[in-house]
Amino acid sequence: MQYFIIVFVLVLAGVGALFVLEDNDVLLTLTFVVVIVGFIFGVSRIAKEK
Amino acid sequence: MSFVNTLINGHNGGFAHEGMTPMQKIALRFVVLGVLFYGLAAIEGMMMRVVEITPVPAIDDTHFFSIMTVHPMVGVFGSTYMIVFGAFLFLVPFLMKKPIFSLKLANASWMLIGGGTFIMWLAGFIFAYSPLYTLYWPLPADFSQFSVIGGLFYVVGVALIMVGTFLYSYNVFKTIMYTPEGWEQQPSMELFKDAIGFKAIGNFFKGKKTEHIVDLPVAAISRGTIDVGLNAVVITAAGVLLLIYMGGALLGSNLEKTWVDALLYKNIFWWGLDLIADGLVLIFVAGTWYILAMMITGKDLFMKNVARAALFVEMVVSWTVWSHHLMSDQGQSNLLKVLSGEMVTALELVTQGLAVYITLVTLAKARPLKMTNELKFLLGGLLGFMLAVPAGIIQADLGMNRILHNTQWIIGSHVHVAILVGLTMTLYAAIYLLLPILTNGAKLYSQKLATTHFWLHLVGGIGMGSFMGMAGIDGMLRRSIYVDGEYNTYMILAGACGVLLLLAFAAFLFNVVMTIGVKGLIGIYSPAKSDTRDCVPAPQEA
């Protein structure tokens, strides 16, 4: 279940990034890093499920 | 046996779908729908090929661009995703000798992806929603050009596909990590780390030898599935964004003043979309080559540790190459163009080159080999990527991109050769290999038709991509209709090759239908009689 919640949060973060981010390569790259780390963290939560 | 009898009951009595396991049926449900969507994409492609040769009164400009909008979506999600997901949902438990986590989730996945593709297709067919699949901002939210209802159908269809995709990814990872009832407790976290590749990296820095607990093919599927998930996050985010503007339009508010930045949108959208093109496709294809090479030869993979490391590098590379799609955008920073667009992209020549080399050496070391259908199509798939990857590297050069960007070269020599020859022939190899396993030994109706399928598809695919590429080098843009026949020589030749592709598909479809029969095809979609979660029937049941 945590996997799907994390996916939902990442989708919202992606939409938010489009409104918040401006012309900044570093922030854009950081957004991608957050999505990658977040998604892999979400997958790792599957291993923790009972 | 008469023709009609074979058509209804299949070759040599077809196959007894009553004896199939639920897992076999689910895999075949994915594959059959995927093959049918491939046929739809092929017909759409041929309609566009004809318009590129001569105007067709029945296909006006709006209709043409509607087809162009849904054609790649039907091909990628309706066909490729379906065939790949069906094969992998079967192969992960099959290779791990472990029951799948959830049959219900697997069934939900094919229904959602199949249904979603159909609804998304309706957006083009009925409502002429045609902002092209790249959805460059603000085109998809420009409701002065396109209808809101059409956009709504499109977004709902894509949303269903993405939900099905998330269910697939969850099911795959859960199957790898969970402990089935009655089993000894599985080391879930260790399985996760080994599947993704973190364990090997950790051990590399600690100077320890890595003992792998997840086989290479399953590791390949896991790493490709990470890119599947990341892509789905981005596509879903684009869908939510569109819904915001559709909601505004339906409520009578003009949200034009709040439109997001087009270049920022293009960066994020292409980062996600490229995870299909340069991520999961290359990783899944390499993984499928390894599975096929091992199953065809019955031998272990050559340089398997290098192959495993290359798959991890490919995954990381796929996260950082998106900027090669923005090389001709004036606003894009030069740093991203050079670093991500040129330098990291060039690494794909190394990772994919290694995959080709490892597969070929594995096959060569096992000679003499019988030239079976799966081996023929595997070699065709390898050839496809040997042509399409260098074509991609050529266009990911700041100088060459000035000439090739947005021309028929991109979509012909690179995309269609990669998808039709590289990817599709690899998938056909998997289908020919898995057919007897999934049908409990059904015998192919005609070897001559299978050989015809191979040659027509190979020549048609390479030919069509090449003639489109030649037109591109001469300046023919993609997504454009030339009404004065400026590129007719190339377009007629590309069209002729398109006909070969259609004939190849007809030969394949006819061969499969005659092999398993109409009754067998319908039987695939009826509930399974056994409630086992095993992949294939136990020996006494078979």
Supply φ then ψ for residue B350, to 5 degrees.
-75, -50
Q: Of B206, B227, B260, at which residue does a domain stop?
A: B260
Give pLDDT tens digits for B413-428: 999 999 999 999 999 9
Q: In sequence order, which residues have a C-beta less than 8 Å from that of residue B178 and are 6 or more positions away?
A: A49, B101, B186, B188
The answer to whether residue B541 scores a pLDDT higher than 60 is no
Give pLDDT tens digits for B288-315: 999 999 999 999 999 998 999 999 999 9
Residues B43 and B110 in one domain: no
Residues B104 and B194 in one domain: yes
Residue with tokens 């949200």: B255
Q: Of B260, B289, B306, at which residue does a domain stop?
A: B260
What is the spatial distance between Cα B405 and Cα B435, in angstroms, rounded to a whole number? Answer: 41
Residue B13 forms part of a structural domain: yes
Q: What ipTM was reported for this prediction? A: 0.97
> pLDDT value at position B1?
63
Q: Which of A28, A39, A46 lies nearest to residue B230, judging by beta carbons?
A: A39
> pLDDT value at position B542?
45
SS3 B56: strand
Tokens of B235: 């596509």
> pLDDT value at position B540?
59
Inter-chain touch A17–B268, beta carbons under 8 Å: yes
Residue B184 forms part of a structural domain: no
Residues B34 and B85 in one domain: no
Bridge partners of residue B407, in order along the sequence: B477
* Residue B389 near residue B421, CB atoms below 8 Å: no
Inter-chain touch A15–B271, beta carbons under 8 Å: no
Residues on chain B bordering chain A, Cβ-to-Cβ distance under 8 angstroms: 166, 169-170, 173-174, 177-178, 188-189, 191-192, 196, 226, 229-230, 232-234, 236-237, 240-241, 244, 260-261, 263-265, 267-268, 271, 319, 331, 333, 335-336
Residues B235 and B124 in one domain: yes
**Arithmetic mean of pLDDT, B130-137:** 89
Nearest to A14 by CA among A32, A40, A39: A32
Residues B15 and B82 in one domain: no
Inter-chain touch B237–A31, beta carbons under 8 Å: no
* Residue B380 near residue B359, CB atoms below 8 Å: no
Inter-chain touch B237–A22, beta carbons under 8 Å: no
Nearest to B269 by CA among B407, B137, B145: B137
* Residue B17 near residue B25, CB atoms below 8 Å: yes
| Predicted TM-score of the model (pTM) | 0.94
Inter-chain touch B319–A36, beta carbons under 8 Å: yes
> pLDDT value at position B236?
96
Residues B250 and B137 in one domain: yes
% of chain B surpassing 70 pLDDT: 99
Nearest to B222 by CA among B27, B88, B319: B88
Sign of torsion over alpha carbons B194, B95, B424, B36:
negative
> Chain A window 5-44: which residues touch B at a Cβ cutoff of 8 Å?
7, 10-12, 14-15, 17-19, 21-23, 25, 28, 31-32, 35-36, 39-40, 42-44
**Arithmetic mean of pLDDT, B432-447:** 92
Q: Which of A21, A32, A40 lies nearest to residue B271, judging by beta carbons?
A: A32
Q: Is B211 exposed, middle or buried (0-12, 13-18, 19+ CB in 10 A)?
A: exposed
Q: Which of A15, A43, A47 lies nearest to residue B241, judging by beta carbons?
A: A15
> pLDDT value at position B539?
67
Inter-chain touch B319–A40, beta carbons under 8 Å: no
The amino acid occupying position B267 is N
Residue with tokens 């939409």: A15
Q: In sequence order, which residues have a C-beta less than 8 Å from that of residue B331 and are 6 or more positions away?
A: A23, B263
Inter-chain touch B240–A11, beta carbons under 8 Å: yes
**Chain B, nearest residue to A1 by Cα:** B170
Q: Find chain A residues with C-beta within 8 A of B233's C-beta.
A: 7, 10-11, 14, 35, 39
Inter-chain touch A36–B230, beta carbons under 8 Å: yes
> pLDDT value at position B398?
95
Q: What is the DSSP letter of B457?
A: H
Inter-chain touch A18–B191, beta carbons under 8 Å: no
Q: How confident is the model at residue B205 (pLDDT cuts 50, 70, 90)?
A: confident
Q: Which of A15, A39, A49 lies nearest to residue B226, judging by beta carbons?
A: A39
Tokens of B266: 């293009």
| Residue B237, CA atoms < 13 Å, CB-side half-sphere | 28
> pLDDT value at position B206?
81
Residue B198 forms part of a structural domain: yes
Q: How far is CA B278 from the centre of its chain?
A: 11
Nearest-CA distance B239 → chain A (Å): 9
What is the secondary structure of B512-535 as a DSSP string?
A: HHHHHHHHHHHHHTSPPS----SS
The amino acid occupying position B477 is L
| Residue B528, CA atoms < 13 Å, CB-side half-sphere | 22
Residues B46 and B94 in one domain: no
**Arithmetic mean of pLDDT, B186-190:** 95
Q: Count up the domains in chain B and report the number.
A: 2
Residue with tokens 């049959």: B103
**Chain A, nearest residue to B335 by Cα:** A25
What is the spatial distance between Cα A21 and Cα A47, in angstroms, rounded to a whole number? Answer: 33
Residues B125 and B230 in one domain: yes
What is the spatial distance between Cα B298 and Cα B375, in angstroms, rounded to a whole number? Answer: 13
What is the spatial distance between Cα B102 and Cα B81, in angstroms, rounded to a whole number? Answer: 19
Residues B33 and B85 in one domain: no
Residues B32 and B150 in one domain: no
Give pLDDT tens digits for B514-539: 999 999 899 999 988 887 878 888 76
Q: Which of A11, A28, A40 lies nearest to residue B267, judging by beta carbons?
A: A28
Q: Find chain A residues with C-beta within 8 A of B237's C-beta.
A: 11-12, 14-15, 18
Is the CB of residue A48 less than 8 Å away from at least one CB of chain B? yes
Q: Find chain A residues with C-beta within 8 A of B169's C-beta.
A: 43
Give pLDDT tens digits for B209-245: 878 999 999 999 999 999 999 999 999 999 999 999 9
Q: How confident is the model at residue B154 (pLDDT cuts 50, 70, 90)?
A: very high
Residues B216 and B165 in one domain: yes
Q: Find chain A residues with C-beta within 8 A of B236's C-beta.
A: 11, 14
Inter-chain touch B233–A48, beta carbons under 8 Å: no
Q: Which of A10, A35, A47 lies nearest to residue B192, judging by beta carbons?
A: A47
Residue B463 forms part of a structural domain: yes
* Residue B80 near residue B34, CB atoms below 8 Å: yes
Selected residue of B223, B233, B273 to mutate for chain A interface (largest A Cβ count, 10 A): B233
Q: Which of B170, B188, B264 lies nearest to residue A18, judging by beta carbons?
A: B264
Q: Find chain A residues with C-beta within 8 A of B197's C-beta.
A: none
**Arithmetic mean of pLDDT, B360-377:** 97
Residue B483 belongs to domain spanning = 1-55+439-448+459-542
Q: Find chain A residues with C-beta within 8 A of B232's C-beta.
A: 7
Cα–Cα separations (whole angstroms), residue B533 to A43, B104, B444, B510: 23, 11, 27, 31
Nearest to B517 by CA among B30, B12, B83, B18: B12
**Chain A, nearest residue to B315 by Cα:** A36
Q: Find chain A residues with C-beta within 8 A of B189's C-beta.
A: 44, 47-48
Inter-chain touch A47–B240, beta carbons under 8 Å: no
What is the spatial distance between Cα B8 and Cα B450, in angstroms, rounded to a whole number? Answer: 20
Cβ neighbours of B35 (radius 10 Å): 19
Nearest to B323 by CA among B332, B314, B315: B332
Residues B33 and B98 in one domain: no
Q: How confident is the model at residue B186 (pLDDT cuts 50, 70, 90)?
A: very high
Ranges of residues in chain A whose predicted pLDDT is under 70: none
Cβ neighbours of B351 (radius 10 Å): 22
Q: Of B206, B232, B260, at which residue does a domain stop?
A: B260
Give pLDDT tens digits for B254-279: 787 788 899 999 999 999 999 988 77
